[in-house]
Amino acid sequence: MIMACLEDRLSQGGSYDYGRAVVTAACTGLIGSLLGIIFIGILYNVIDINLHVLVKEIMIDKMQALLDTFGMDDAAADKAMEAFIKRDFRQDFRALATSALLSVVMNLLFGLVVGIFVRRKPDNPFET
């Protein structure tokens, strides 16, 4: 995001408006996120259909090790593990659409922050 804004600012020369910086940053982040979501969708649904099972097994092992380090009593740890085991790791349309919506919101917020640091006010605002 920052590199895209800096490159756009160099091509503009002189001043660089906050609005343009926000749009450039948000669009760059959104394009990258959507490419990643498309890749994940193809990976989980076309390339390796059973990948979610492997990911779930690895996450269960990691979760069990993490719960052991917390020092929880066995009943609470078992209840947490049961809830975690019920979770579905499939990357269906609903999960991918949720990721896309969250990506839009997060990239807009990051774009607002990046725009603050990348913008450049004109030397003399009264000149056109």
Average pLDDT over residues 46-51: 88
The pLDDT of residue 12 is above 80 = yes
The pLDDT of residue 97 is above 70 = yes
Q: What's the pLDDT band for 69 if we cut at 50, 70, 90?
A: confident
Q: Which residue has the higher pLDDT, 88 or 2?
A: 2
Q: How far apart are CA 9 and CA 117, in angstroms?
A: 12
Mean pLDDT, the chain, whole residue set: 86
Transcribe 63-106 into DSSP letters: HHHHHHHHT--HHHHHHHHHHHHH------HHHHHHHHHHHHHH
